[in-house]
Amino acid sequence: MLETLMLSRLQFAANISFHIHFPTITIALSWFLLYFKLRLDQTHHPVWMRAYRFWVKIFALTFAIGVVTGITMSFQFGTNWPKFMETVGNIAGPLLGYEVLTAFFLEAGFLGIMLFGIDRVSARVHTLATLIVAIGTSLSAFWILALNSWMQTPQGTGYSCLHRFCLSRFLGQGTGIAVPLTIVQKEQ
């Protein structure tokens, strides 16, 4: 019989395997939606409105699933690896917090306008909301990549006598060598 720790880690593996697809789709779709919206504003051709209305529904679904799986994943960090999170929490916590701020406050705030405001606000405001959602999804991805980069090549931190990592310079935290390499690898 499997022990609790192994079952917990298997659950995390299943969750992250499921989760990774939805933010990826959401990031790409946000920029496609912005393109559709810009083309609609330029040409006023109904095909762009049909494309936008179809894909915005899929965007909303993938966004919602990504949020739900992401929230459970953040709890699993602490429950599955408590000692690790205690040691790196001073670094990982703020980076995850920045991701939540960009995801929930920036994206979700303007997502409402993007989803429900197309007939209620001007075309310019709606396009701006779509742009801000696209920027928010990309910023959210940046903070996650910065955390992953820091875990691979910890820079801008020191190890304290309390056996915890502490930030020594902010720019070193998110500008490790792995961040640009990760972004370049994702683009290829």
Burial (CB count <10 Å: 0-12, 13-18, 19+), residue 1: exposed
Higher pLDDT, 75 or 127: 127
Please tell me which residue, 151 or 163, carries the higher pLDDT value: 151
DSSP labels, 21-88: HHHHHHHHHHHHHHHHHHHHHHH--HHHHHHHHHHHHHHHHHHHHHHHHHHHHHHHHHHH-HHHHHHH
Q: Are 22 and 65 in contact (CB under 8 A)?
A: yes
Residue 172 lies in a domain: no
Whole-angstrom Cα Rg for the chain: 19
Identify which has the larger pLDDT, 178 or 6: 6
**Which structural domain, as residue segments, surrounds residue 24?**
4-144
Count of structural domains within the chain: 1
- Asked if the structure places residue 36 within a domain, the reply is yes
Please, is 17 exposed, middle or buried when counting C-beta atoms within 10 Å of its C-beta (0-12, 13-18, 19+)?
A: exposed
- Between CA 25 and CA 113 the distance in angstroms is 20
Q: For the segment 48-95, what is each residue's pLDDT rounded down to a tens digit?
A: 999 999 999 999 999 999 989 988 888 888 888 888 888 888 888 888
Residue 2 has pLDDT above 80, yes or no: no
In this structure, is residue 186 part of a structural domain?
A: no
Residue 164 within any structural domain of the chain: no
Q: How many residues does the chain have?
A: 188
Cα–Cα dist 114/132, whole Å:
10
pLDDT at 157: 59
Per-residue pLDDT, 177: 47
